[in-house]
Amino acid sequence: MLFRRCYGIVSLELYSKCLSAVGEIRICSANPAFRFGRFGMKLRLMTTKDIPGGVRLNTLAGWNQTDADWSRLLVASPHGCFVMEEGAKVVGTAATLPYDDRFAWISMVLVDPEYRNRGIGSELLRRAIEHLDDARIPTLKLDATPLGKPLYEKLGFVSEYEIERWNLRRTVEENPGLSAEIVPAAPLTEILAYDRHIFGADRSSLLRSLAERGPALTLAIVSGTQLQGYAFGRRGLFADHLGPWMAGDPDTAKTMLADFLKRSSRDTVIVDALQSNKVAGEILRHTGFTVARPLTRMYRGPNAFPGKPESLCAILGPEFG
């Protein structure tokens, strides 16, 4: 059993027996606000004041999120993001992100390396799942690493499809030749409506935030009145991140990637592409990208709104879906 709760521990002897039975240290909690007396820690809701702590943890992990990404999570889910703190120090995080009450995302489960093997990540994950179950969200989703996948399977998550993270490392050169225009308001509204069909739920607030903060990385190709493709981008901690990236045909996919790379000012670019989209994979490979690591999209529950992932070249990212 992954999670164990221990109640009424009143002595070191009984506490030791509890740890022995579990086989490793598990944080014991009777409620979300439980204070770890002997650990000196507290699990609580994340606030905007904790964003620097979140960025510190994802920097230690080599993740690309910025304060803007943490802010997006808190705006969308003010009661569904959590931290573990020791004193005034954030030592762990977990975030949830609901979409239309159809499904919700779990992400950003991070633990300070100096505090690992104490059950902090397990307890944060437990709290995130508990929050979404209490909210009666029917389907929970996440993107799992190979290391985390067996743990999620024990919690009832099953695989939906495979994702590959592709990285490009380059020397940026000035190149003003752009074939996709910055997307104005009217086409953006059309893109957001189309994306709801592709993703399976409305995430227009999140995508508008990306477009507002990175207008040069928000692309669309239209033929007549037909939307051929769209893409959004983020300027991350150390890399620009392309996604979501949707294209109706190989030429559109190739054009959009080329234009994104011309607009990007970073030496490193990240794309989380669907493994099943062989065309996108070939385009990325021929452009100089290499596969960094695999991910598995997983879900728990009915998955009644899967969207149309076969139409995507790349997802938005593991933190958002």
Find where tokens 């579990």 sit: 22
Domain containing residue 247: CATH number: 3.40.630.90
Contact 269, 167 (CB under 8 A): yes
| Pair 169, 130 in one domain | no
Comparing CA positions, the residue from 234, 252, 251, 235 lying closest to residue 243 is 234
Comparing CA positions, the residue from 7, 45, 46, 54 lying closest to residue 26 is 7
- Model confidence at 30, in pLDDT bands (50, 70, 90)? very low
| Pair 32, 100 in one domain | yes
Q: Where is average pLDDT lowest: 19-23, 122-126, 167-171?
A: 19-23
Cα 290 to Cα 254: distance, rounded to the nearest angstrom: 16
pLDDT tops 50 at residue 242? yes
Contact 121, 92 (CB under 8 A): yes
| Pair 122, 239 in one domain | no
Q: Looking at residue 20, what is its pLDDT?
A: 31
Looking at 200-244, list the stretches that DSSP marks H as alpha helix, in order from N- to C-terminal side. 204-213
- Model confidence at 48, in pLDDT bands (50, 70, 90)? very high
Q: Looking at residue 174, what is its pLDDT?
A: 58
Residues 6+ apart with CB under 8 A from 291: 164, 165, 166
Q: Looking at residue 181, what is its pLDDT?
A: 54
Contact 27, 118 (CB under 8 A): yes
Residues 6+ apart with CB under 8 A from 288: 168, 170
Q: Looking at residue 21, what is its pLDDT?
A: 31
pLDDT in tens, 205-231: 999 999 999 999 999 998 888 899 999
Q: Looking at residue 12, what is its pLDDT?
A: 28
pLDDT tops 70 at residue 36? no
Cα 3 to Cα 124: distance, rounded to the nearest angstrom: 11
Q: Looking at residue 284, what is its pLDDT?
A: 98
pLDDT tops 60 at residue 45? yes
| Pair 102, 56 in one domain | yes
pLDDT tops 50 at residue 249? yes
Work out the average pLDDT over 150-162.
96
| Pair 199, 299 in one domain | yes
Q: Looking at residue 141, what is its pLDDT?
A: 98
Give the total number of structural domains in the chain. 2
- What's the mean per-residue pLDDT of the chain? 87
pLDDT tops 90 at residue 62? yes
Position 321 in a domain: no
| Pair 224, 272 in one domain | yes
Q: Looking at residue 1, what is its pLDDT?
A: 30
Cα 46 to Cα 298: distance, rounded to the nearest angstrom: 25
| Pair 173, 240 in one domain | yes
What percent of the chain has pLDDT above 70? 84
pLDDT tops 60 at residue 244? yes
Work out the average pLDDT over 241-264.
96
Position 97 in a domain: yes
pLDDT tops 70 at residue 123? yes
Position 309 in a domain: yes
Looking at 23-160, list the stretches that DSSP marks H as alpha helix, in order from N- to C-terminal side. 51-60, 67-76, 120-134, 149-154
Domain with 253, as residue range(s), is 164-314
The 3-state DSSP class for residue 287 equals helix
- Model confidence at 22, in pLDDT bands (50, 70, 90)? very low
Residue 195 has which token pair?
């994306």
Position 150 in a domain: no
